[in-house]
Amino acid sequence: MERSQLLQVVQDLVTDEVVVPVMSAIKGWARIPEHFFWCTAMGYGSSVALGLALAQPERKVIVLDGDGSLLMNLGSLVTIAGLQPRNLIHIVLENGLYELPGSIPVPGRGAFSLPEMARAAGLEKIREYDEVGAFERGLLSMLKEEGPFFAVAQVAPSAGEGLPKMTLVDMSRKLERALSPG
């Protein structure tokens, strides 16, 4: 599926969930939701999302991770499996590339399995999607059921989608305001 199709589904379905896009998952958002944090430190998306999920247990947290990024912090899968945050939905957009800095192939692409790595880390609710209709049905069920979920979505490489105009600092302030009590 195209990343833009996957992101459209997320945009259509989220209401008060926190969304943590990593790297190219920031591209092409028609509007930046209220609870949103773009993670640009490779590997930390799942850890940032875990922290948000623990701090806001009544709210679902969706992290839209990159395959290259997750590979830099596989240990976060073990931490998530150990802590079992029921409200965390970890979705990896697998494109086989470090796309944002110039579409460099991820070493070993096609030869490793992220779902198998997640299983070996102790995660149990593992999903795989390569088609947008199945992804939409899957996200709907992950939003309703208890996690933690780990999902891998195959997305085609893409180009030409824009980066947001809002700065990282402004995004962080917006999230802080949106999550502050009262």
Ligand X SMILES: Cc1ncc(C[n+]2csc(CCOP(=O)(O)OP(=O)(O)O)c2C)c(N)n1
**Binding region for ligand X (CB under 6 A):** 22-24, 40-42, 66-69, 95, 97-101
Nearer to ligand X, 40 or 167 (CB): 40
Smallest distance, ligand X to C-beta of residue 40, A: 5
Alpha carbon distance 9, 1 (integer Å)? 12
Smallest distance, ligand X to C-beta of residue 57, A: 27
Q: Residue 50: enclosing H or E segment and its boundaries?
A: helix 45-55
Q: Compute the CA torsion angle 74, 59, 138, 30 (nearest 10 deg).
A: -90
Residue 150: other Cβ atoms inside 10 A: 28
- Closest-approach residue to ligand X (CB): 66
Nearer to ligand X, 159 or 177 (CB): 159
Alpha carbon distance 88, 2 (integer Å)? 24
Helix (H, G, I), strand (E, B) or coil at 102: coil
Pure H helices in the chain: 3-13, 45-55, 67-71, 75-83, 114-121, 132-144, 168-179
Nearer to ligand X, 42 or 121 (CB): 42
Smallest distance, ligand X to C-beta of residue 106, A: 6
Smallest distance, ligand X to C-beta of residue 102, A: 9
Smallest distance, ligand X to C-beta of residue 99, A: 3
Nearer to ligand X, 101 or 107 (CB): 101
Tokens of residue 124, six digits: 């149990």
| Interior angle at CA 102, CA 100 and CA 103, nearest 5 | 85
Smallest distance, ligand X to C-beta of residue 156, A: 11
Nearer to ligand X, 23 or 50 (CB): 23
Where on the phi/psi map is residue 86: left (φ > 0), alpha (ψ -120 to 50), or beta? Answer: alpha
Nearer to ligand X, 27 or 87 (CB): 27
